[in-house]
Amino acid sequence: MDDQTLLAATAAGDDTALRTLFERHAPWVAARLRRVMPADAVEDALQETFIAVWRGAGRYRGGEDAGTWIWGTARRQAALAFRKRGLTTVSFDLVDGGVIASGADPAVTATRNIDVEQALAALGPGGERQQEVVRMVYVEDRPVAEVADLLGVPPGTVLIVT
């Protein structure tokens, strides 16, 4: 069964599908997390990642590789773990795509080559809410609910901007 089908089954409540996704993806996710996190935090972040996959599988739309979607979830969980430890900045630049057999991770390559300030400036003058939302969600890896709380707007507003 392919990953997209497994995510759809997970969204429908199939815990066997989630277990299969875990068995398939947990080893490489953990290996990538170990490169940016203390060893004692990796297991917790991995567990939180797959809890988030379980809860959020219904939001997977199939437009991207399932592994990429799972890694995005892992990044957000790692960022949350860092914030809980009082750290505000996480750099995933240390993670190379060599961990995944398919080659370089396009997300890592893109983040290495992007000028974040230039991209944010394209959204309009500094200080605009849209720019702040994009920075919090995509640069700081904050969850939508947290961004909504911090900015005092409904989560749907954050989703529209992103």
> Same structural domain for residues 70 and 147?
no
Residue 132 is assigned to a structural domain of this protein: yes
pLDDT in tens, 61-75: 877 788 889 998 998
pTM of the model: 0.56
Q: Which two tokens stand for residue 106?
A: 């396009």
Q: In CATH, what number is assigned to the domain containing residue 23?
A: 1.10.1740.10
By residue range, what is the domain housing residue 61?
A: 1-94
> Same structural domain for residues 121 and 152?
yes
Instruction: Look at residue 98 in the predicted model and tell me its pLDDT.
Output: 35
pLDDT in tens, 86-105: 765 555 554 444 333 334 45
Q: Is 128 helix (H, G, I), strand (E, B) or coil?
A: coil
Domains held by the chain: number: 2
Residue 16 is assigned to a structural domain of this protein: yes
> Same structural domain for residues 81 and 120?
no
Instruction: Look at residue 117 in the predicted model and tell me its pLDDT.
Output: 66
Instruction: Look at residue 125 in the predicted model and tell me its pLDDT.
Output: 65
Given a contact cutoff of 8 angstroms between Cβ atoms, the answer to whether 97 and 105 are in contact is yes
d(Cα 67, Cα 113) in Å, to the nearest integer?
A: 21
Given a contact cutoff of 8 angstroms between Cβ atoms, the answer to whether 103 and 79 are in contact is no
Q: What is the mean pLDDT of residues 122-142?
A: 71
Report how far apart, in Å, the C-alpha atoms of 97 and of each of 16, 24, 72, 100 are.
28, 17, 14, 6
